């Protein structure tokens, strides 16, 4: 196909011999499919989130913790039928949800594999760089959206993720996600049944960007609309980006700013979350 799935609209053929900007063809490439316990509590719960990690990405985040699969393309090419079976196998393991991690460049295959509809919530776990037509195709298929809101600074987005248009694209995408789901809903055990949880990774030395992201969330949503997850797990990887971890003082200032805005529904982290143990092995488990 001539690809226009993501905001880059690179026009790649994406067949067996060609790759898009995302680095992969049109057949699903999966690096891991297993219960995952390192998401926010309302996603992971006690039985884990059924995380399916797809290879390739439409961003080029120099600090990506999943670099081996996002840029390295590590994973196994599978059929749509196998992907559908993976979803069913995860359900049978008792996970709380199906967590599709960076799947937008495989949208047609994913839509097909989600038929028949799973009996547990489907989570769309994304960097936030999503095209509106693709999101509209997911309406009714996805119950929980888990987007990043990485940047309000286009120059910073270009330098660290290769996407100067990221702020405007992500804002429009998140508003579309909320239009589909409405205010978030938890079950009696505190598990997220539907809605949007916006993640933001605080970057060392870039607090003004964080403050701008939080300002936009506050301006765009009312209390009870969305959850916010403020992450402090930035980990230098030698491939670019800030060459140090976030300091406790930087993260405290970000948390305090979030609270001052009244963004009290969501999560903060212990800075130890930057440890490599929180990145699962992309060894083909469950594929």
**CB of 57 within 8 A of CB of 73?**
no
Residue-wise pLDDT for 36-95, tens only, equals: 999 999 999 999 999 999 999 999 999 988 877 887 678 999 999 999 999 999 999 999
Delineate the domains of the chain, giving CATH numbers in brackets. 29-278 (3.20.20.70)
Residue 53 to residue 100: CA distance in whole angstroms:
7
pTM score, whole prediction: 0.95
Residue-wise pLDDT for 240-267, tens only, equals: 789 999 999 999 999 999 999 999 999 9
Q: Across residues 191-207, what is the average pLDDT? A: 98
| 144: helix, strand or coil | strand
Q: What is the DSSP annotation of 192-235?
A: EEEEEEEEEEPPTT-HHHHHHHHHHHHHH--TTT-EEEEE----
**CB of 31 within 8 A of CB of 284?**
yes
Give the tokens for residue 185. 């809903």
pLDDT of residue 1: 65
pLDDT of residue 66: 82
Q: Across residues 174-190, what is the average pLDDT? A: 98
Residue-wise pLDDT for 98-123, tens only, equals: 999 999 999 999 999 999 999 999 99
Q: What is the DSSP annotation of 159-173?
A: HHHS-TTHHHHHHHH
């Amino acid at each position: 196909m001539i690809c226009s799935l993501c905001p880059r609209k690179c026009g790649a053929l994406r067949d067996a011999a060609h790759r898009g900007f995302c680095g992969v063809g049109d057949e699903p490439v999966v690096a891991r499919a297993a219960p995952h316990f390192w998401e926010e509590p309302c996603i992971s719960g006690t039985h884990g989130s059924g995380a399916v990690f797809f290879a390739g990405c439409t961003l080029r985040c120099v600090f990506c913790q999943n670099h081996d699969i996002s840029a390295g393309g590590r994973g196994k090419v599978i059929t749509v039928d196998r992907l559908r079976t993976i979803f069913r196998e995860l359900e049978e393991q008792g996970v709380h949800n199906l967590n599709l991690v960076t799947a937008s460049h495989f949208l047609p295959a994913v839509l097909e594999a989600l038929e028949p509809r799973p009996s547990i919530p489907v989570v769309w776990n994304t960097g936030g760089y999503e095209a509106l037509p693709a999101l509209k195709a997911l309406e009714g298929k996805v119950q929980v959206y888990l987007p990043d809101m990485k940047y309000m600074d286009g120059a910073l987005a270009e330098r660290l993720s290769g996407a100067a248009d990221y702020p405007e694209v992500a804002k429009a995408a998140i508003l579309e996600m909320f239009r589909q789901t409405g205010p978030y809903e938890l079950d009696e055990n505190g598990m997220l049944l539907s809605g949007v949880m916006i993640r933001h990774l605080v970057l060392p030395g870039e607090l003004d960007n964080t403050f701008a992201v939080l300002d936009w969330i506050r301006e765009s949503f009312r209390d009870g609309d969305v959850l916010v997850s403020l992450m402090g797990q930035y980990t230098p990887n030698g491939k670019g980006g800030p060459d140090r971890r976030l300091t406790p003082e930087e993260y405290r200032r970000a948390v305090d700013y979030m609270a001052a805005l009244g963004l009290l529904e969501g999560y903060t982290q212990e800075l130890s979350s930057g440890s490599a143990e929180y990145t699962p092995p992309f060894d083909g488990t469950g594929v």
